Amino acid sequence: MEVQKTALYNYHKNLGAKFVPFAGYEMPIQYKDGIVKEHISTRTHAGFFDVSHMGQFFLEGDETLIESLEKIIPADLKNLKINHSKYSFLLNNEGGIIDDLIITRTEKGFCIILNAACKENDIKQISQFLKKHHKHLLNNDLSLIALQGPKSVEILEKLIPGVANLKFMTGNNFEYEGDNLYVTRSGYTGEDGFEISISNTKVEKLIDYLISNEVKPIGLGARDTLRLEAGLCLYGHDLNEKINPVEANLKWAIAKKRKEVGGFNGWEKIKNLLAKGSEKIRVGIKPDGKVIARENTKIFSSDNNEIGFVTSGTFGPSVNAPVAMGYVKSEFSEVGTSIQLEVRGKKYGGKISELPFYKKSYVK
Amino acid sequence: MSEKKFSKKHEWVSLDGDVATVGITKHATEMLGDIVFVEVPDAGKAVEKEGQAAVVESTKAASDVYSPISGEITEGNKVIADDPGSVNTDPEGASWFFKLKIKDKSEYDSLMSKDEYDKFCKENPS
């Protein structure tokens, strides 16, 4: 398959981006400033992220569309208000997570933001449940820009009046340069911010404006350190088809009503796990020293029994210490439990930690 | 202290009598990005030419640091282990990785000069 590029590819190049292949796209991993500076400037000012590789999947239909989607998504879509968003997943028959996503109710149906690496399969999986008269479109004419950081609201409000009134996990249509924009107050960094869906033809102009307001470009490298500090999962690492939402410590994302009534893929299994608890569970991990416990690092109990593995690990620039997430046997998941991390054949001490590592500042 | 010599794995070596000081090059730090973890060897450890001797990690990934020369470690630089970011600031000066007592000076002689190394980097962009 040919490597794909987002509409901003040349723009990134001119900004000094270093590219890496990611989910079939050439994406910036970092720019000239490097990951730590990009991370800090997002936390202290604002940064923009080109996340146009993610799928923007639009669905239209009547009431039966809700029934169809609820078979694979455990959110309460019936009671989701127009312009409100929820974090949820696509589930397989075993309750495993096919992808994690943000779903927003629109005037005519729904918009789902899908992970780039999963989007084609996701659409296949969703389509199984759709009726002939449901319309769907993966819109590749749109870019998606995340603007994240404490100054985001002030900067975007000047350009697009009204965005400041959006509450976290809600969105609306706005006008920009004679075009329609859909803006949601959301993101994946633990900061206040927005995700802006904008036509590929207008996106450069938006970025020009952001840069003139000292918003730095942020690559995948800092996106990873930011989301990990915020305790957020990365699909393909912390989540996969063999992990269910209970194990992933994401049962909060299953709507209460849906937990009781069910009617979605894997419900029997999930209901059982909700009652009994799972054997393993996702936790935050803080190594005691400076050692970084990266993905696949084995986790041992203090008496040397293997109890789990790391799924994401890096140095957290705002925490100023290494941070990680992983799965451990549930009896070792209590915050403060001492563990050992095997790095390059040597065992280092660590502790089960609260998530997030870095406290969020969302506008509710 | 002798002139610095360079390896293809982006280490530098300087020689003072039979004790070599080894670090990673500025070019290496630029490729790695922000350095957040360093592990240096303890004194007494024997290392082979091109054998793994230390570890350096950036936010992105972990990399081994090889010794361009064989010998016995006399000192690991604890300062950079405590302050890994200092490797980005002064990689070819204060932020050396380890010192070792060498066995065979010809291993040092066969490494690249500064000019040869610069040329090597230009021809082998990462």
Whether B58 maps to a domain, the answer reads yes
- Which domain, by its residues, includes B65? 5-101
- Residue to mutate among A39, A220, A292, with most B CBs inside 10 A, is A292
Please check whether residues A147 and A291 belong to one and the same domain: no
Q: What is the CATH number of the domain that holds B65?
A: 2.40.50.100
Instruction: Say if residue A138 is exposed, middle or buried (CB neighbours under 10 Å; 0-12, 13-18, 19+).
Output: middle
Please check whether residues A33 and A150 belong to one and the same domain: yes
A264/A72 Cα distance (integer angstroms)? 5
Please check whether residues A209 and A289 belong to one and the same domain: no
Half-sphere exposure of A3 (CA within 13 A, CB side): 9
Whether B120 maps to a domain, the answer reads no
Please check whether residues A45 and A145 belong to one and the same domain: yes
The parts of chain B modelled with pLDDT lower than 70 are 1, 126
- Note whether B62 contacts A: Cβ–Cβ < 8 A: yes
B33/A221 touch (CB, cutoff 8 Å), yes or no: yes
| pLDDT 10s digits, A107-159 | 999 999 999 999 999 999 999 999 999 999 999 999 999 999 999 999 999 99
- Given a cut of 70, whether residue A364 has pLDDT beyond it is no
pLDDT given for residue A4 in this prediction: 96
Reduce the DSSP state of residue A146 to 3 states and report it: strand
Confidence of residue A209 (pLDDT cuts 50, 70, 90): very high
Q: What is the CATH number of the domain that holds A158?
A: 3.30.1360.120
A125/A115 Cα distance (integer angstroms)? 14
Structure-block tokens of residue A289 = 């020293």
Please check whether residues A42 and A161 belong to one and the same domain: yes
- Residue to mutate among B29, B38, B57, B59, with most A CBs inside 10 A, is B59
- Note whether A294 contacts B: Cβ–Cβ < 8 A: yes
How far apart, in Å, do the first and last CA atoms of chain A sit?
Answer: 42
pLDDT given for residue B61 in this prediction: 87
B94/A13 Cα distance (integer angstroms)? 34
Least Cα separation, residue B34 to chain A (angstroms): 7
pLDDT given for residue A360 in this prediction: 66
Least Cα separation, residue B88 to chain A (angstroms): 11
B7/B2 Cα distance (integer angstroms)? 16
Whether B10 maps to a domain, the answer reads yes
Give the ranges where B1-126 is alpha helix by DSSP (H). 26-32, 78-82, 86-89, 105-109, 114-123
A111 within 8 A of A58, measured Cβ to Cβ: yes
B33/A292 touch (CB, cutoff 8 Å), yes or no: no
Please check whether residues A13 and A146 belong to one and the same domain: yes
A49/B60 Cα distance (integer angstroms)? 18
B73/B20 Cα distance (integer angstroms)? 9
Whether A154 maps to a domain, the answer reads yes
Backbone angles phi, psi at A160, to 5 degrees: -125, 85
Number of A to B CB contacts under 8 A, please give it: 41
Whether B112 maps to a domain, the answer reads no
Please check whether residues A200 and A339 belong to one and the same domain: no
Instruction: For residue B60, list chain A residues with Cβ-Cβ distance below 8 A.
Output: 29, 35, 221
What total of structural domains would you count in chain A? 2
Whether A307 maps to a domain, the answer reads yes
Structure-block tokens of residue A301 = 């109990």
Instruction: For residue A36, list chain B residues with Cβ-Cβ distance below 8 A.
Output: 34, 36, 59
B36/A315 touch (CB, cutoff 8 Å), yes or no: yes
DSSP B108: H
| pLDDT 10s digits, B59-88 | 888 999 999 999 999 999 999 999 999 999
User: A251-276 burial by CB neighbour count: b if 16+ within 10 A, else e?
Assistant: beebbeebbeeeebbbbebbeebbee
Count of residues in chain A: 364
Whether A65 maps to a domain, the answer reads no
pLDDT given for residue B60 in this prediction: 84
Whole-number percent of chain A with pLDDT over 90? 98
- Given a cut of 90, whether residue A65 has pLDDT beyond it is yes
Question: Mean pLDDT score of chain A, rounded to an integer?
Answer: 96
Structure-block tokens of residue A155 = 């900067």
Average pLDDT over residues A180-185: 96
What total of structural domains would you count in chain B? 1
A283/A299 Cα distance (integer angstroms)? 12
- Which domain, by its residues, includes A41? 9-52+141-229
A181 within 8 A of A223, measured Cβ to Cβ: no
- Which residues fall within 8 angstroms of residue B112, CB to CB, at 6 or more apart? B5, B6, B7, B8, B120
Please check whether residues A36 and A168 belong to one and the same domain: yes
- Note whether B64 contacts A: Cβ–Cβ < 8 A: no
B5 within 8 A of B51, measured Cβ to Cβ: no
B123/B94 Cα distance (integer angstroms)? 28
Please check whether residues A213 and A283 belong to one and the same domain: no
Task: Give the bridge partners for A341, in sequence order.
Answer: A299, A348
| pLDDT 10s digits, A315-337 | 999 999 999 999 999 999 999 99
A28/A37 Cα distance (integer angstroms)? 15
Whether B69 maps to a domain, the answer reads yes
Average pLDDT over residues A173-195: 95
Instruction: Say if residue B108 is exposed, middle or buried (CB neighbours under 10 Å; 0-12, 13-18, 19+).
Output: middle
* Count of beta carbons in the 10 Å neighbourhood of residue A102: 20
